[in-house]
Each structure stands twice: as C-alpha cells, then as structure tokens.
C-alpha cells in the first residue's frame, strides 16, 4: 500500500490534487497550488505560512526568491526547476530532455533518408531557450542524427535572433524538409507544439513529440521523502542534486511517435533501451566540437569512463561539429 501525505506538500503553479464529485480528495499527493503571477515573493511567503513541508518553484527564474525563502526557513525543503545552478539550500530538478533529443535526432535523420532521399542532408533545429539545457539538447540531437547519417548537418536557428516565420521561410528556400522544434519555451505557450516536423508542400506535419511527464516527476520526489530516502531538514549534497535530474529511465522524459515503419520503431526502441540501461549515451565515446576534440574515443574501455559527467553536460560551452550555427545563438536573450 502506498503511503499518503499529511496534506502539507505544495507545488507552486502546479496542483496534482484530484477530487471526486462530492468534493472529497482522491489523492493527497499535492494539496495546495499557489500561482505566483507578478508577485512570486508573496506566493512563496503564503506557502511558507501555510506550514508546507515541500515547496516546488517551477521555473529557473524563481530561483532567487526561492533561495531567499530557503535560507529563512531551513525546516522546509525547497525545490527549483533548474539544472546547473546548485545551492546548499535548494534542491534542483529537471528532466533530461537531451536524452529525448538524442532519440529524435536519430528519428529525424532516418525520416530524411527514407522520405526525402533527394533533399539536402540538412535538418533544421529551432532554439527557444537561452540556457544550459539548450546546449546539451541541440548537441545530443546532432549526435543522434550523425549516427544515422554521418553527412547530415544541423541548421540551428534561434527565435531570439529571427522570427519563426523568417526561419521557416529560410529553411523552405534551402529545401530543408525535416526540422526539430523540441524545446519548451521559458514562458508557457499553448499554441506551441514541440516536436519533429516534416514539410508537406507549404504546410508541415508533426511526426514525433518529446515530452515531460511532470506528474510522475513530482510523485517520485515526494515518494522519495516518504520512503525516508531523505528528510526535509537535511542539507543538499552533490548526490541529491544529481538524483533529481531524471530522464528516460524513470519515464519523466519520453518520446511519442505514433506512425512509424516497424524498422524505425525497432531502431528507436533499441537506442531507448540502450540509453535506459546505460549502454548508450549521446555524450559517451568520441566527441567532436566545431573547433576541437572534446573527448577521444577508446574503443574497448569502460563506457562510464568515456562519458561526460553531469557537471560537464550542464556547463557545455561548445557545439557539435555537425551544427551550422554560432554558440552566441544559445546565449542571445
């Protein structure tokens, strides 16, 4: 039987509480939701005053105010949805979107070869966020694509530097038939649908979607506390920071591609299983940046010894050799 909370866990701007027709709770996983709006400090202060045990701040932009509250209230466990900004008082959490990007890179290159054999060996990649995760995501995508087609180039464009319409017109003029728009923007936009797209004349079709299963994420974090894996009052260490960076193996990150030839489905299932088991990683083995070798391969050696560390992944300052674009695109606001 799964344990339940005592009714004092919160997620800011997210609520997993469900109620039946009579208004009674069916689940106590999350009992309060505070919408920050223009006054994040007030939302956090109200959450603290309500005697909550866990507080989740769901955007990297919330980190300064979250840290302020965490210092003032060490008895509460604070979480912030960010990676690469560790602090002893705040636990970081995020999804390994780069693992999904690795799979979608494989899928995009396979689609280009199967459906557009006469098109240029180029795939578009649209950047929406200027942060550490964007670098890892676009690099993993390029690695995946190069495994299927070593001649494939990634045409990287940023919405911070050019309008989406201009970007798509440019890709159309360059006969780029497959493109990735897989990042989730920093500001929620219901009209935006992340995915891999292929062109059908003047229109496009979304053929694969990477996504975050945030409900599963919060559930696993809460269950970790309930099981005694850690206590809210414990200080955060390096292991804890890594522990809350979940990916394909936990189901927090996944790829949905409903219409696949069985050969392509088997290909993606193979690489997903290998990634989950640790037998494959987009940042293992030989890695080449645009201007240098990041890591030399060593065929027979242990894979773990040839894989970039978590810190190396979240602090990347380089682009894969297959990417056409400048690093400045990933830092433009």
Question: Please, where in the chain does CATH 3.40.50.2300 lie?
Answer: 9-95+214-248, 97-210+254-330
Distance CA 115, CA 274 (A): 26
Helices 262-277/97-115 angle, 10° precision: 160
CATH number of 9-95+214-248: 3.40.50.2300
- Enter the pTM of the model: 0.83
Looking at residue 18, its pLDDT comes to 40
Model pLDDT, residue 24: 44
CA-CA distance, 270 to 259, in Å (whole number)? 17
Tell me, what's the pLDDT at 149? 97
Topology (CATH) of 97-210+254-330: Rossmann fold (3.40.50)
| pLDDT-flagged residues of the chain (< 50) | 1-30, 238-243
Task: Name the burial class of residue 239, with classes exposed (0-12), middle (13-18) and buried (19+) by CB atoms within 10 angstroms of its CB.
Answer: exposed
What pLDDT does residue 88 have?
80
pLDDT at residue 3, rounded to an integer: 32
pLDDT at res. 191 = 65
Contact 46, 10 (CB under 8 A): no
122 forms beta bridges with: 153
pLDDT in the model for residue 19: 34
pLDDT tens-place string over residues 184-234? 765 555 667 889 999 877 788 999 999 888 888 888 877 777 776 665 555
Q: Residue 122 in contact with residue 82, Cβ under 8 Å?
A: no
Most distant pair of Cα atoms in the chain: their distance: 63
Task: Report pLDDT for 8.
Answer: 40
Q: How far is CA 22 from the centre of its chain?
A: 37
- pLDDT value of residue 304: 55
Q: What token pair was written down for 270? A: 């193979």
List of residues 6+ apart from 196 with CB closer than 8 A: 104, 107, 108, 111, 178, 179, 180, 181, 182, 206, 207, 208, 209, 257
How many degrees, rounded to 5, is the angle at CA 315 between CA 309 and CA 318?
100
pLDDT of res. 267: 96
Cβ–Cβ under 8 Å, residues 112 and 152: yes
SS3 state of residue 235: coil
| Closest to 209 (Cα-Cα) out of 197, 198, 221 | 197
List Cβ neighbours of 307 (8 Å cut-off, separation of 6 or more).
281, 283, 284
* Residue 161 DSSP one-character state: T
Residue 203 has phi, psi (to 5 degrees) of -115, 175
């Amino acid at each position: 039987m799964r344990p339940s909370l005592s009714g004092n866990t919160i997620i800011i701007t997210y609520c997993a509480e469900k109620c039946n027709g009579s208004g009674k709770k069916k689940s106590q996983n999350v009992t309060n939701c505070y919408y920050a709006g223009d006054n994040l400090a007030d939302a956090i202060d109200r959450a603290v005053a309500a005697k909550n045990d866990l507080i989740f701040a769901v955007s990297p932009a919330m980190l300064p105010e979250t840290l302020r509250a965490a210092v003032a209230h060490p008895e509460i466990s604070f979480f912030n949805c960010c990676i690469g900004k560790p602090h002893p008082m705040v636990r970081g959490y995020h999804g390994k979107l780069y693992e999904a990007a690795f799979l979608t890179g494989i899928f995009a290159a396979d689609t280009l070869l199967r459906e557009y054999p006469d098109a240029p060996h180029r795939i578009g990649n649209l950047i929406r966020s200027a942060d550490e995760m964007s670098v890892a995501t676009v690099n993993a995508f390029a690695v995946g694509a190069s495994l299927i087609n070593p001649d494939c180039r990634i045409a990287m464009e940023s919405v911070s530097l050019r309008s989406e319409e201009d970007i798509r017109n440019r890709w159309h003029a360059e006969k780029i038939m497959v493109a990735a728009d897989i990042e989730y923007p920093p500001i929620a936009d219901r009209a935006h649908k992340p995915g891999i797209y292929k062109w059908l004349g003047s229109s496009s079709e979304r053929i694969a979607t990477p996504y975050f299963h945030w409900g599963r994420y919060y559930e696993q974090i809460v269950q970790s506390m309930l099981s005694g894996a850690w206590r809210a009052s414990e200080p955060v260490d390096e292991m804890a920071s890594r522990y809350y960076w979940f990916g394909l193996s936990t189901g927090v990150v996944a790829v949905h591609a409903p219409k696949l030839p069985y050969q392509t489905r088997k290909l993606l299932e193979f690489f997903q299983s290998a990634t989950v088991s640790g037998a494959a990683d987009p940042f293992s083995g030989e890695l080449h940046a645009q201007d240098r070798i990041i890591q030399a391969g060593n065929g027979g050696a242990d894979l773990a010894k040839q894989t970039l560390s978590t810190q190396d992944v979240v602090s990347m300052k380089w682009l894969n050799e297959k990417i056409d674009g400048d690093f400045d695109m990933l830092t433009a606001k």
